[in-house]
Amino acid sequence: MAKKSMVLRDVKRAALNKKYGELRKKLKVIICSDKFGDDEKTDAKNKLQKLPRDSSRSRQRNRCRLCGRSRAYNRLTGLCRIHMRHNVMFGFVPGMHKASW
């Protein structure tokens, strides 16, 4: 089980990303585009730097939906290796079974 503070920190980051995501995209389009001048690009870079650091999507961690564990996360199911193994053993994941030989 992950610490609640870490899980809540990721929830906060997701909320900031939702709030500032569109603005970040617009500013990045201005920075990368050839249509805008140097002054507009510099202004867009400064505005982007003044946004909260945690509003970036790359600051979020993928976490298990059941326990919040960030390591050994499976994107297909959204579970960590421990819960993935448990669900496979009980037959909750179709098409997967525990190998035994």
Instruction: Report DSSP letters for the chain, one per residue.
Output: ---HHHHHHHHHHHHHHHHHHHHHHHHHHHHH-SSS-HHHHHHHHHHHHHS-GGGSGGG-----TTT---SSEETTTTEEHHHHHHHHHTT-STT------
pLDDT confidence of 101, banded at 50, 70, 90?
low
Residue with the bigger pLDDT between 96 and 74: it is 74
Domain ranges of the chain: 4-61, 70-101
pLDDT-derived band at 14 (thresholds 50, 70, 90) equals very high
Q: What is the mean pLDDT of residues 79-93?
A: 91
Q: What is the pTM of this model?
A: 0.77
pLDDT at 25: 95
Tens digit of pLDDT for each residue in 24-67? 999 999 999 999 999 999 999 999 999 999 999 999 999 999 99
Name the fold adopted by 4-61. Helix Hairpins (1.10.287)
